[in-house]
Structure 1
Amino acid sequence: MLSRRGVVALAASALLLGSCSTSGDGEGAQAGASTGSEKVTFEFWNLATADPLKTFWANTIKEYQAAHPNVTIKNISIENDSYKPKLATLTQSGKAPDLYSTWGGGVLKQHIEAGLVKDLSADAADTIGGITPAALAAYQFDGKTYGLPTDIGMVGFWYNKALFKKAGITTPPATWTEYLEAVKKLKASGTTPIALAGKAKWPGHYYWAYLAMRVAGLDALKQAGTTNDFTGPDFVTAGQKLKELVDLQPFQKGFLGADYSTPDGQAANVSNGKAAMELMGQWAPSVQKDSGKGLGDDLGFFPFPAVEGGKGAAGDAFGGGGGLAVSVNAPPAALDFLKFALKPENHSKAVKAGGVLPVLKQGEEDAVTDPHIKTVSETLAAASGFQLYLDQEYPPAVGQEVNDVVAELIGGTKTPEEVVQAITETAKSESE
């Protein structure tokens, strides 16, 4: 999801109807991007609706425009759950924003196949060479780079230490059995164990994906994505494990209608002490603070537990980061701005503010000052394997099916067997 932050109003729907590249036409416009002689305007679609990234991008745009007075950047910040359908609607019409947020994977690949995004391999070679391979992986296909990462991270449990202590939980659970026991203790103490944005759906798929990784193993999950067959018994078991959790009724009241970053949503429930934990990415602390009171020193983090008897490694991580892609029709200034933002002296400001994790090979190590971001960074650095979000790894229709059917499993209207069958049918249909 990134990244998957935000709580501001939607950009005007009219943006979807017109061309996203508003620069001058022809060679004069392209020359203007470098010489400053021709006025250039481009749109920047992003997810930075909450601080610290909201301020970071506003300042970066201001600095770039001060150095390039001929360039105007339209900063269009859109909340995550609205961003995805808006972007899908636009790309389906054969257009893409000049510069826009992407998580890479199958969704970006679809944009590439549609001829909507620019191959950055040559024009951004110097910048690409300074980025860590792990951060770049989701944006590279067939030896070419079609996006540049601005963040990398992983999903894990963010929890309220005070509520855990109240429930008599002295250490975070390391196994699935211990996790279920912790949920029971939290309920017994009068605390809602887990906050979940059931309406948003994508937060729910994190549980099934991690359980599939722990039970079947990372290689089996990757193979299923290639063969388009998720009907194996281990994937059914992953759903059964999730049902064990669901049967404990661990989520907040009304979770099926809850969004992620709204004042009464998932992040706010944790931030305001109404729920003990959430399974979320590295952006969780900033969204919690933006949508609620914030937990301060009571906020902690622990990785997804191991599953006893599972074939997957307990150290394998699930997640991803945010990146930016450039439309084939964008003026050169759009890529120039992206490279500017990724200069060590600039990107390290976002790292230092606690908004993102380092993606550069050098120049950002000392910028990680936020203790929560540092914890995630260290955990990710020690990971034995990595899996991108399934709703981004797979083609859009397959990723959406994963989100939908896992939501139905959590809602009690689909069985674990029906979940894997539905994903398999959609995957095979998309591959035909």
Structure 2
Amino acid sequence: MGKTARHLRPLAALLGAALALSTTACGGATDASSAAEAVDISGSISGQTINYWSMWKDGEPQQKVIATAIADFEKETGAKVSVQWQGRSNTEKLVPALNTNNVPDLVDGTLAKLAPVIGETGQASPLTSVYSYELDGKTVSSVIPEKFTSNGVFKGEDGQPWMVPYSISSDGIWFDAAKHPELKATPPATWDEFIEVLDKLKAGGTAPIAADGDIAGYNSTWFVTSLLRLKGAGSFKALAEDKSGAGWDDPAVLEAAQKVETLVKGGYLNSGYNASKFPAQQQLWANGDAALILNGSWTPTETGSYAAPGFEYSSFQFPAIGDKPASARVDFIGFAVPAKSKNQVPAQRLAAYLLGAKYQDALGTDAKVLPVRQDAPVDPAVASVKAAIDAAPATHLQNDGVTFPGYTEKVFFPRSDELFLGKTTASEFVAKMKEAQIQYWKDNG
């Protein structure tokens, strides 16, 4: 697995770790953040120092882009950036630091990891001034697509934003366009068309879908996205937060589970997927031994070193089921500034700085990831995902943004795995989820 995608591979696994940590983070220091207010970041910051804890490791593509931005920022502003390239453990290290007076001025990470630790605990500074700051003659808020911010995902209880994203990730059903030009020319738009494609692949002797069955976050995407296609973005979160469990009686929920059951019973999943160990199935897909894989926008980078010669990365979105507008999954990576930061102004300026066109373009073309700016170019390998996001009327987070402590890893994932691995039927899955969810909310208020 490539360095670039390691933090994203199962985002769900990271989310579970973050949620476990959040109970610790909630235990202290929230009183210190109550005085946090928006600050004016337009003045001189020459001579000031920023202590930045980065989620990237030295040598990673994103790290190289950010390091260039830091060098330019220091030259332009006269400020000094003391950066620690800590890697994915930076958020875990932040938890104990928040309970002291020795906190970083700036930290980055996925929304899934930052939200429970700092965003939802009142320990982040409002970044209102970052969003109104001008770069390249445009405000930061104007270069971030409105559909990313309209649902308030970056806002705290006070209504002010605590996070500013600088890159995104998404997913799609990936294929080799050189081998399957018909899928690029006419991708299946509906579930019925999707099944027709799978039948043709199967009849032609090609394994239709590869899947590493030991990755719960990947397995669950089939059910969650099916439900979102049936009922719209936000429907899985609404289902999960239903303390009565009655939502699981909705026929649409059973229908979503039956879509997964269809893939299992129809023999559309590659032989051995239910006993595979990551990245075995991903590798055989990249080698051409299976046609499709539902995976993240990091797939080209992660599989590029072992893909078949001439492999042309392309993807199509999860097919429509019913008539609901199809949202695109968008997960975020961005900056937060702890309320206890002693250098608020330069820290927030640096957070804004990475939204500049030069660095957003570099993330897209050099790091080959998806920048948050819609006007930034991207590598051809991820162009299909960017086009889908640009065209989507709305967005949703992985697992529809469900962040209830312990819910995904203890309630949902084990039962979703049983469904996807063929160990339980759709109706059994629904019944088990209803029972487990009722018990979860009894135990967790």
Please tell me the TM-score bracket, short chain as reference. Answer: 0.7 to 0.9
The one of 126, 131, 148 equivalent to 1:135 is 148
Q: 1:164 to 1:70 in 2, by over 3 A?
A: closer
The one of 325, 328, 332 equivalent to 1:317 is 328
Letter in 1 for 2:261: K
> How far apart are the structure 2 equivalents of 1:347 and 1:38?
25
Q: Is 1:410 the equivalent of 2:420?
A: yes
Q: Deviations over 1:112-138 (max 9, x none)?
A: 342332221245532543333223342
1:306 is aligned to 320
Q: Is 1:148 the equivalent of 2:164?
A: yes
Q: Deviations over 1:247-269 (max 9, x none)?
A: 2151353554433xxxx445433
TM (normalized to structure 2)? 0.72
> How far apart are the structure 2 equivalents of 1:422 and 1:64?
54
> How far apart are the structure 2 equivalents of 1:57 and 1:256?
39
Letter in 1 for 2:387: E
Q: 1:241 to 1:189 in 2, by over 3 A?
A: same
Quick check: 1:174–1:306 contact (8 Å CA) kept in 2?
yes
TM (normalized to structure 1)? 0.74
Letter in 2 for 1:194: I
How much is the aligned-residue C-alpha RMSD, in angstroms?
Answer: 4.0
1:240 is aligned to 258
The one of 116, 119, 133 equivalent to 2:123 is 116
Query: 1:24-173 counterparts in 2 under 5 A?
Result: 37=47, 41-46=51-56, 51=61, 53-64=62-73, 68=78, 70-78=80-88, 87=91, 91=95, 98-103=106-111, 108=115, 111-122=118-129, 124-126=131-133, 128-130=140-142, 131-136=144-149, 137-142=152-157, 143-152=159-168, 154-164=170-180, 171-173=186-188
Q: Give unpaired runs (5+ residues) of structure 1.
A: 9-15, 17-32
2:407 is aligned to 398
Q: Is 1:205 the equivalent of 2:205?
A: no
Q: 1:353 to 1:382 in 2, by over 3 A?
A: same
How far off its partner does 1:72 sit? 1.7
Q: 1:280 to 1:120 in 2, by over 3 A?
A: same
Quick check: 1:48–1:57 contact (8 Å CA) kept in 2?
no
1:339 is aligned to 352
Letter in 2 for 1:276: A
Quick check: 2:368–2:379 contact (8 Å CA) kept in 1?
no
Tell me the matched-pair count. Answer: 388
> How far apart are the structure 2 equivalents of 1:163 and 1:48?
36
2:306 is aligned to 292
Quick check: 1:235–1:420 contact (8 Å CA) kept in 2?
no
Q: Give unpaired runs (5+ residues) of structure 2.
A: 9-20, 22-42, 134-138
Letter in 2 for 1:236: L
